[in-house]
Structures are given as C-alpha cells and as structure tokens.
Amino acid sequence: MRVITVLLVEDHHLVREGLRALLEEQGGFEIVGQAQDGHQALELAEKLRPDVVVMDITMPNLNGLEATVRLRGMLPSSRVIILSQHRREEYVAQALLSGADGYLVKDAVADELALAIRAVFRGQRYLSAQISGEKVQELIERRDQITSPLKRLTPREREVLQLVAEGNTNRQIAARLSISVKTVEKHRFRLMEKLNIRDVTGLVRFAIAQGIIEPDDSPHLP
C-alpha cells in the first residue's frame, strides 16, 4: 500500500505535533507539511498537493470551512477531513456541503484519525462514530432548506467578518487582505446589512454561533 501524504492544518502547535505523532506511530503516512491557518494551508496545499488535508474548523484569519471551499476549487483531487469540537449534525452537513470528505469530533481523534484518512483516501466519506450519518444525509438532501445566514455573504465578506470578530481594526484588515480601508468599510457595511446586525458585538456573537471563532478568540466580549 502506498504511503498517504498528509497536510496538517491546526492553529495550536502542540495539537499539530500530537496529530503528527499519532500518524507516524501508525505508519503508512507522510506528513508533508503543517499550517496554522487557512491562508497558509492553501499556500502549502498548492505547493505540496497532499493526498489528504486534516483541517481544523476554527482558526485565525481564515477558518477551516472557508479554506475547504477554496481548496476544493484549487485541488479537487485532495481529500479534506474537518476537525471540530462541534458534533451537531447541522455543523457536519455544512462542512460536507463546503467540500469536506470527512468530519472528526476532536475528542475522538486519537482513535479515529488514521481510519478516517484511509477511508477518505479510498474515496469514502468518514464521520465520527458519535455523529448520526442518517441525520446528516437528510440535511444534505434538504440543502436548499439549510438557511445559514453565511450563505448570504460573499467569500470576501465572510473573511472580513472573521477578522472583525477577532478584534482587528479596519486598517489592520486592509493591510492583511491587501485592500484599501475604504473597501474594508464597504464590506463591513454590506455584511452588516445582509445579516441585519448593527454593531461589532453582534457580529462577534454571530461568528461564535456559526463556529467561525471560539468565545475566547475576540476581545469584544467580556
């Protein structure tokens, strides 16, 4: 059996090293790269073309779902496994609709990571044992009824939303995205209009509810 090449994407260094150690102990895997956010993941994936990308869902700058959408457009042959602490079927369905091939709940990673990678490499879908595959499939088949407000936003607006929720100023966002402050202001205005949210605190709470950031990731909440 040929060695499966893997790109690990996780913003915590110790967690990445733990995942690497798990796979190296199993054998049959080659860790070709490690990334700490979605942007770095896309850069490395384009360069390294891994068989499987193991992607954390909540990361700074560009979250795992948004990175997965872009990755599948760029490298349709690479498989993606989402790592998340969320186990609600709505989250899982959204991840699969974003292009993920597998979904692992973080507290099950030690037992299932190698199994999941081998499964998606073979072209199969893999979901953590705690997740009801039947409920997820029902949601996917009713995809037009999934009313996530994020669907109203453009990719750039979703990116600005995350950066605002993480506490970045307009000037910082402009520098990070290589756009003008005026353009950032326009994106902020449009996304707030689309979401019917009038202040930054509201945007932060929305981002947390959608799994884009964790509660501790923004300075805007007490």
Q: What is the pLDDT of residue 135?
A: 74
Task: For residues 52-60, give the mean pLDDT.
Answer: 93
Fold of 4-143: Rossmann fold (3.40.50)
* CATH code for the part of the protein at 149-217: 1.10.10.10
| Residue of higher predicted confidence among 147 and 98 | 98
Do 4-143 and 149-217 come out as alike in CATH topology?
no
Query: What are the residue boundaries of the structural domains of the chain, listed by start?
Result: 4-143, 149-217
pLDDT band at residue 143 under the 50/70/90 scheme: low
pLDDT at 91 over 90: no
pTM: 0.81
Structure tokens, 107: 């507290």
